[in-house]
Amino acid sequence: MADHCSPTFADLAGQLGFSCEEAGGLVEFRSPFALENWTLPVLELTIVLGALLALWYAIVRLRRHGDPTNLVLWFGATAYLFVIEPPLYFPAAFGIEDHVDTMFAHNVFTVDFLWGRLPLYIIAIYPLMATMAFGIIRMLGIFRRYGVLIGAACVGYVHHAFYEIFDHLGPQLRWWEWSLDNPLNQPMFDSVPMGSVVVFAALWPMSLAFCVQYFVGRHVDDGKRFTGIELTWRTIVIGLLASVGTFLLPLPATVIGMNNTTIRGIVYALELAVLAIGAALVMIRQWTALRRGTATPPQYTDPFVQRFATLYLIIFAALWIAALPDFFAAINGETTNGDPIGNLWYTAACFVIATASVLATFTVPRSQATPEAPASAVSTVPS
């Protein structure tokens, strides 16, 4: 697959310590003890295990409670991944090399696909992160009270907090490398492109959540039953439309900042600020109303999300603590090994938001009638 080793990717791979031309095939396996550093297998195990548990719990919810929402979310996020990621890895194969050069390169992990481009954990992180963020908002009853759009915005906000904890740590620990010469990655927010901070951390999960709740979630909440065929086509549509939403939502920054990266960064920041402030106010208002008893208690609980989101925060806190000595020894934004560092204060704020979001799900009252799912939402999908 050497013909797909573009100069940019080959250079990024070299910086990460592997050769593009020698990177496997469709799938490649390595010893976890032969990776760049010990944090790579820890990251990989955490994310892959979490995604598998999320899938298992989604299947359990469907079989026991007739609620396919989590399963549609899981596969919808995966479908979105396979629409978005391959063109970024092989722009020449998709005929877009004149417009989109290689934006980044992942390091090699225990399991890799597509000639070193796609680690297994990247496939897993899409449904896992979406499940955690969506589950938190659903447990707080925000979709039921405020509707699909506002609920989706809150999902984007919570997803952003969880994702940026990961996003600002990866470059320092050589989980991936960004191409600084690619104009699409500009402007940078320390070691992270603003496009990643806003589009991939907040806007794509908002788009996905909107589609999932619109096509499936709200109907399940009202007791509608779906057949297997209905769920299949709705999941495919969700993956495709979520991709369209990811193109539409950042358009203000894309259009206004087309010829000026500084303006693009400002508009990105404004979009994120509007989303964050609005979502935070809604979440605080809903939590307060639930605690005071002035809002209807949510009918949905998700113990997997509560437990795994807690574990995720603990593991990433440990990874960040392990990275702090090199972080504080960095000069001009780079460690002594030449790796870029993220923004510690922004990450700390994201830790606070993510932790508060998880704690909120433990501190609100639950409906006594239906602790798991609406009783009428019995699926016709064969069990």
Look at residues 364, 270, 301, 41 and name the one whose alpha carbon lies nearest to residue 173.
Answer: 41
Helix (H, G, I), strand (E, B) or coil at 230: helix
**Nearest CA to 297 among 287, 285, 282, 306?**
287
What's the pLDDT at 382?
A: 32
Q: Break the chain into its structural domains and give their ranges.
A: 38-362
Q: 108-144: buried (b, 16+ CB within 10 Å) or exposed (e) per residue?
A: bbbbbbbbbbbbbbbbbbbbbbbbbbbbbbbbbbbbb
End-to-end CA distance of the chain: 43
Q: Say which residues have a Cβ less than 8 Å from residue 280's Cβ, sequence separation at least 6.
A: 157, 353
- HSE on the CB side for 353, CA within 13 Å? 25
Q: What is the pLDDT along the chain (383 residues), one digit of tens a residue?
A: 445 678 888 888 888 888 887 777 889 999 999 999 999 999 999 999 999 999 999 999 999 889 999 999 999 999 999 888 888 787 776 777 666 778 899 999 999 998 888 999 999 999 999 999 999 999 999 999 999 999 999 999 999 999 999 999 999 999 999 999 888 899 999 999 999 999 999 999 999 999 999 999 999 988 888 988 999 999 999 999 999 988 899 999 989 988 899 999 999 999 999 999 999 999 999 999 999 998 888 888 999 999 999 999 999 999 999 999 999 999 999 999 999 999 999 999 999 999 999 999 999 987 654 444 443 333 333 32
* pLDDT score recorded for residue 3: 56
| Spatial CA neighbour of 275 closest among 192, 218, 210, 364 | 210
User: In the structure encoding, which two tokens stand for residue 41, read together?
Assistant: 């297998």
* Separation between Cα atoms, residue 253 and residue 329, nearest integer Å: 35
Rama region for 17: left / alpha / beta (φ>0; ψ in -120 to 50; rest): left
Give the largest CA-CA distance in the chain. 63
Say how far apart CA 32 and CA 36 lie, in whole Å.
9
